Chain A
Amino acid sequence: MAELSTSAIQTDYMAQVRQKRIMNTILLVVFIALMLGGFATANDRNAGGFWNGLPMLLDFPADVISEAYSRAELLPGYFVKYFPSLIETINIAAASTLLGGLLGLVMSLLVTRGLAPVPWLIGPLRRVLDVLRAVPEIVIALVLIFLLGGGPVPAMIAIALHTVGALGKLFSEVNENASLKPVEGLESVGAGWTQRMWLGVIPQVAPNYLSYGLLRFEINIRASAILGFVGAGGIGYDLRNTMSWGQGKFDEAAAIFLLLFFTIVVVDQSSSYLRNRLTHGSAKGKIHA
């Protein structure tokens, strides 16, 4: 084969670059068209148009803030009044994370190749996790509210089910990276499946599990507030009530907004601090081998 001259390489390279640029431009144009067309469609289907609504965007927050400001002395009282609801919302999130995490842990061990006690169940159980992950919490919650009545239990079950799906998958990815040597060691001394998992796998993966669990807790706090809004108790329920009371209760709504905001910020910050410590390890926390 004849040697390629520099100029031939250059023309070839330039042609490739040009082709890639054309492709990128086409993709970009298609993307922009999709975005613009999408916004136009969404705008048409909306009850109020974007440009009509834009000037009113700040009306509601302004109402809430002005009302809260004019009755600022009542706010601490409202914080006390709605604190139990906030606790309920946090409890829903915590209980469902814990419950979902524990079930997710078992599920993850059942769907990890090499660890699963029943290999042919891996496929079906993974599909179960996929479905659990795909169902939005609100769907299960609304159906359960019909069956069980309002209150925190439907929300807890709904969020826990979704959590099983989400954490089960993440945990099983963690399990795949776990070393099998301790498991083999335990097997050689006659340990059963539960013992192998509990003593051989869990200690390896626990920090990662905890880190994912904390991340999930952040997400679940938000979910539990939303589910309250559709009737499942907690602070979301109070928020809807204070808002649907019409004028005159916006100061209470403002108090709930603030409570929710600070809770989310505090949980986010502390969980991200804890997760950092879990993944990178604290300076002295490591138990020496």
Chain B
Amino acid sequence: MSMASLQASTATNFQRKRLMGFAVPAVILAYFAYIFVAFDMGGLAERVSLENTRTLVSDAYSYKTHVTRDNRDGGVSIAIEGERKGRYAEGTAPEWVALGTETLVDLGDDHIVTFGETLVTYDIPGYGMIVTEPGRTGVNATFPTDEIPEWINASKNRVSITTDAGRLTVTRNRSEVFRYAMGWELFFFTLDSPYHGMGFGTLLSHAANGEAGAIWSDFWANKMWRHADVAWALFETILMAFLGTFGAAIIALPLGFLAAKNFTPLGGVRFAARRVFDFLRGVDGLIWTIVLSRAFGPGPMTGSLAILLTDTGSFGKMFSEALENVDGKQIEGITSTGAKPLQRYRFGVIPQITPVLLSQVLYYLESNTRSATIIGAITGGGIGLLLTQAISTQKDWEEVTYYIVLIILMVMMMDTFSGWLRRKLIKGDEAGH
């Protein structure tokens, strides 16, 4: 090659490279522009629900207590998140509520709401006293200023006042106050437990006095957060992943031999086994889940079988590839000692492929924990089911947050565990040869 032609070809190469340097980003940009239009990202701003976002974020780290008066019979009930399970017993109240013929609700910062016999008043510092009178004909409200500020929403049948301290809603039949506070109030104990509101030190001393069992059972049977159910759901999810992954490995191993060139000389069998793998993988986990849940109903069995079927395809393919790569010398050596076929597999093949197979199977164990969560959300089983249930109520966002944290921890734990097992088993194997 002459100097000139070399230079010419280098120049064209450079030209091409330079062109690529612009073309690739341009293509990517063009694609994103297309996606922007196709997915209607411009309209996204209108579709974002700010209200939902606010509820979600504030629910995630705070809780609210509802103080509700039935305007018809005058009965007052106090409940955390307005749920029956979080209701204060008759005649009891948190310290910021004074029960009596007149109910005083102190929202903090001198915000005082009073449920009088007929009148409901809200004293807002810096603004004045709002007086409302709910009755059969509607809600009559008088405001200290002529112009009603935007944080008050008043109509004939409903007055709603939102301040930083809380929120008051008065309708014909009901007057309701929300007071917000940090944390997940009933996480450890519900209100009917004697241990509710105790400090950690007090709890410890109670536990030392032989109440440990009672404390644990009150915590474990917490009706609001259902710790026992959640723990069981997590276990179910891991069970799905475990059964699915190892079940698939057990089924795929013999099939892998059928699909490997050096173990199955019959082309037809090999072809059939490979198409089975392709089919199992091609029919996605989603479709397997749907088909199986029609037959077996929702639950962890359906989930494990769905994982099992999909992964049999993946494992079969990987195992047969690993088998095609085994070293023939080791098998020859075993054969030369007069070993029968089964012994040849046991001592000539299995020790060679075990580390490869195990590490692949354990990689899948972690990713299948995630799949099990997803499948659980579709068919109903495990933590995925709890999560979809909590999301579909659209108000238990503190539970959603809790479940998400648990799922992340569960997956990371499985990742660490499978990594540890992989190192342990494979290293142990190498040393044992």
Contacts and interface: CB of A to CB of B under 8 A. Distances in A.
A260 B287 CA distance: 9
A48 B284 contact: no
Contacts of A229: 286, 378
Contacts of B41: 153
Contact of A45 (B47, B290, B299): B299
Given A143-B56, A222-B285, A229-B286, A43 B374 contact: no
Contact of B391 (A46, A134, A143): A143
Contacts, number: 181
B35 A91 contact: yes
Given A47-B297, A48-B295, A54-B295, A230 B49 contact: no
Contact of A225 (B44, B47, B286, B302): B286
Contacts of B388: 142, 230
Contact residues of A: prevailing secondary structure: helix
A148 B48 CA distance: 5
B53 A136 contact: no
A134 B408 contact: yes
Interface residues of A, number: 63
Interface stretch (B72-80, B122-130, B183-191, B275-283): B275-283
Contacts of A136: 370-371, 373-374, 407, 411
Interface stretch (A56-64, A68-76, A108-116, A179-187): A56-64
A125 interface: no
A130 B286 contact: no
B343 interface: no
A170 B312 CA distance: 25
Interface string A134-176: 1111110011001111011100100000000000000000000
A268 B250 CA distance: 24
Nearest to B240: A42
Interface stretch (A6-14, A33-41, A277-285): A33-41
B358 interface: no
B56 A146 contact: yes
A229 to B, nearest CB: 6
B398 interface: no
Contact residues of B: prevailing secondary structure: helix
A153 B242 CA distance: 33
A222 B284 contact: yes
Nearest to A46: B299
B295 A59 contact: yes
A245 to B, nearest CB: 14
Contacts of A50: 296, 301
User: Which of A38, A46, A257 has the most B CB atoms < 10 Å from its CB?
Assistant: A46
A60 B295 contact: yes
Interface in B114-171: none
A131 B302 CA distance: 28
Given A42-B240, A45-B299, A46-B300, A265 B291 contact: no
A59 B296 CA distance: 11
21 contacts: A35-B243, A35-B246, A38-B243, A46-B296, A46-B297, A46-B381, A50-B296, A54-B295, A60-B295, A61-B291, A91-B38, A135-B404, A136-B407, A143-B400, A146-B52, A147-B56, A152-B39, A222-B284, A222-B285, A222-B286, A230-B388
Interface of A: 20, 31, 34-35, 38-39, 41-43, 45-50, 53-54, 56-57, 59-61, 88, 91, 94-95, 98-99, 102, 130-131, 133-139, 142-143, 146-149, 151-153, 156, 222, 225-226, 229-230, 236, 239, 243, 257, 260-261, 264-265, 268, 287
Given A46-B381, A49-B301, A153-B39, 16 more contacts: A38-B243, A47-B298, A48-B297, A56-B294, A57-B295, A60-B290, A88-B38, A134-B412, A135-B407, A146-B52, A147-B52, A147-B53, A148-B47, A152-B38, A225-B284, A264-B284
Interface of B: 13, 28, 31-32, 35, 38-41, 44, 47-49, 52-53, 56, 236, 239-240, 242-243, 246-247, 250, 278, 281-287, 290-292, 294-302, 304, 370-371, 373-374, 377-378, 381, 384, 387-388, 391, 394, 400, 404, 407-408, 411-412, 415, 432
